[in-house]
Amino acid sequence: MSEPYIVVNDLAKRFQIAERDPGLWGALKGIARRRYRTVEALHGVSFEIGRGDLVGYIGPNGAGKSTTIKILSGILVPSGGTCEVAGLTPWQSRVEHVARIGVVFGQRTQLWWDLPVVESFELLRDIYRVPQAHYVRERDELVELLDLVPLLDVPVRQLSLGQRMRSDLAASLLHDPEILFLDEPTIGLDAVSKLAMRDFIRRRNTERGTTVLLTTHDMDDVEALCSRVMLINHGTLLMDGTVADLRSDRRRVVVDFSEPVALAAHHSALVRSSSGERIVFEVQSRVPEFVAEVTAAYPVQDLMVEHPPIEETVAALYQQVRSVDGTGIRE
């Protein structure tokens, strides 16, 4: 990590949610006396991100990812804690701050629904005061890299999700921001669009040195892009490390035997599944020894060693937290 560029310290955010009992009686009671429930979306989150870093921010739905992004982008004021992005407090110097960042929310377009894509771009050029020469250069590069040529004259409402996301990403970068916040940029995209999206984000990060904070549910995004991952749940940061940290030291050994075998019980592995001649083992460590043992004892036709999918590890982590915490929502 280079010099700290984004510094978040003990960030907290509480929401008041009006509640009422179900049914007509509940509605009537609600008129007389409103009951509020406090939901803690963030609960003392601290981290630092260096200039030019590409950091993944993961966690289950409702964990506080989007709330963090909204605070960092200056549209939400936290209930407590401090936060500095490139020397500015986002919600205090909003106009100055948002001019330097780009934000994409995968769930919501920021383009103008009824306008052709290129007109949205031109309006953004005016709003961000991008000089015409800069604008033309940036637009042409983005249009080429994100394959937007056929989309430029199409109204946003007629775009497919993949096309819209590419246009949204381009729109967030026209003013060449130093920082890019991406909130689930690959949600709902097909495999090809996801790959294109990842490739683009990686290039932007390495070639321009744009600092990127990315939230996602797709562990492939994280594996492909992020050297560093932060995992949040129930508004608390649970893990801040590398992708390798997310992987356990377990390996999966897939063995195809040339004939059905009866396994001896003493092997130091779990049988995860077996179907016909194929048996999938899970091995904690000492993989070479296990492989030697199996090939010596049985007629082996083929053998593969793989990482367990990172999703499983992450799901296990989410699960663990839930059982420690006891309840779904902290009240």
Partner 1 sequence: MNSRIFLAIVAVRCRMLLQYRAAALAGFGTQLFWGFIKVMVFVAFYASAVSEPPMTFAQVLVYIWLGQALLALLPWNVDKEIAEQIRSGGVAYELLRPVGLYGFWFARTLAFRLAPTLLRMVPMLAFTYFMLPWVGLAEWALPPPASSAAGGFFLLSALATLLLSTAVTMILHISLMWTISGEGFNRMMPGVVPLLSGLIIPLPLFPDWLQGVLFWQPFRGLADVPFRIYSGHIPASEAVLEIGMQLGWSALLIGMGVALLTRARRRLVVQGG
Nearest to partner 1 of 106, 246 (CB atom): 106
Nearest to partner 1 of 154, 280 (CB atom): 154
Question: In whole angstroms, how close is the CB of 99 to partner 1 at the nearest point?
Answer: 4
Burial class of residue 34 (count of CB atoms within 10 Å of its CB; 0-12, 13-18, 19+): exposed
Nearest CA-CA partner of 4 in 51, 61, 68: 51
Question: In whole angstroms, how close is the CB of 263 to partner 1 at the nearest point?
Answer: 56
Query: Which element (helix H / strand E) includes 318?
Result: helix 310-325
Rounded to whole angstroms, how far apart are CA atoms 62 and 47? 19
Question: In whole angstroms, how close is the CB of 14 to partner 1 at the nearest point?
Answer: 9
User: Do the beta carbons of residue 296 and residue 255 sit within 8 Å?
Assistant: no
Nearest to partner 1 of 16, 301 (CB atom): 16
Pairing mode, if any, of strands 101-105 and 211-215? unpaired
Nearest CA-CA partner of 331 in 234, 239, 232, 236: 234
Nearest to partner 1 of 111, 253 (CB atom): 111
Helix 132-145, helix 161-173: angle, nearest 10 = 150
Nearest CA-CA partner of 63 in 233, 223, 231: 233
Nearby residues of 320 by Cβ (< 8 Å), 6 or more positions away: none
Nearest to partner 1 of 115, 238 (CB atom): 115
Question: In whole angstroms, how close is the CB of 38 to partner 1 at the nearest point?
Answer: 12
Rounded to whole angstroms, how far apart are CA atoms 71 and 84? 10
Nearest to partner 1 of 95, 265 (CB atom): 95
Burial class of residue 193 (count of CB atoms within 10 Å of its CB; 0-12, 13-18, 19+): middle
User: Do the beta carbons of residue 236 and residue 45 sit within 8 Å?
Assistant: yes
Rounded to whole angstroms, how far apart are CA atoms 130 and 151? 22
Question: In whole angstroms, how close is the CB of 295 to partner 1 at the nearest point?
Answer: 58
Question: In whole angstroms, how close is the CB of 301 to partner 1 at the nearest point?
Answer: 57
Q: What's the Rg (C-alpha) of the chain?
A: 25
Percentages (nearest 5) of helix, strand, coil residues in the chain = 35, 30, 30
**Residue ranges of E strands in the chain:** 4-19, 35-50, 54-58, 80-85, 101-105, 179-183, 211-215, 228-233, 236-242, 251-257, 270-275, 278-283, 300-306
Question: In whole angstroms, how close is the CB of 226 to partner 1 at the nearest point?
Answer: 23
Question: In whole angstroms, how close is the CB of 191 to partner 1 at the nearest point?
Answer: 29
Question: In whole angstroms, how close is the CB of 284 to partner 1 at the nearest point?
Answer: 44
Nearest to partner 1 of 46, 110 (CB atom): 110
Nearest to partner 1 of 61, 275 (CB atom): 61
Positions in the binding site for partner 1 (CB under 8 A): 13, 15-16, 41, 67, 70, 73-77, 91, 94-96, 98-99, 103, 105, 108, 110, 112, 114-115, 119, 122-123, 126-129
Nearest to partner 1 of 25, 36 (CB atom): 36
